[in-house]
Amino acid sequence: MAFDSEPLTIASAKGQTHKFTVELALTPAQLEYGLMYRDKMPADHGMLFAFGAPRPVMMWMKNTELSLDMLFLDQNGTITHIQENAVPYSESIINSGGPVAYVIELNGGIVRKLGLAVGDKVTSATISAKLGK
Task: Give the chain's domain count.
Answer: 1
Q: What is the pLDDT of residues 100-114, one digit of tens each?
A: 999 999 999 999 999
Question: What share of the chain in percent tops pLDDT 70?
Answer: 98
Q: What's the CATH code of the domain at 78?
A: 2.60.120.1140
Quote the domain boundaries for residue 59. Answer: 5-131
Residue 3: pLDDT band with limits 50, 70, 90: very high
31 sits in which H/E element: helix 28-33
Give the model's pLDDT for residue 133. Answer: 46
Closest CA to 22 of 127, 114, 94, 93: 127
Give the model's pLDDT for residue 109. Answer: 97
Give the model's pLDDT for residue 132. Answer: 61
pLDDT of residue 121 exceeding 60: yes
Give me the mean pLDDT over the 4-13 stretch.
96
Separation between Cα atoms, residue 52 and residue 64, nearest integer Å: 24
Q: Could you tell me the sign of the dihedral formed by the alpha carbons of 38, 112, 103, 11, in that order?
A: negative
- The pTM score is 0.95
Strand order in the sheet with 5-11: 79-86, 68-73, 94-107, 45-59, 17-25, 5-11, 121-124
Residues 41, 69: contact at Cβ < 8 Å? no
* Backbone φ, ψ for residue 16 (5° rounding): -90, 150
Q: What is the pLDDT of residues 53-91, one digit of tens each?
A: 899 999 999 999 999 999 999 999 999 999 999 999 999
Separation between Cα atoms, residue 6 and residue 25, nearest integer Å: 11
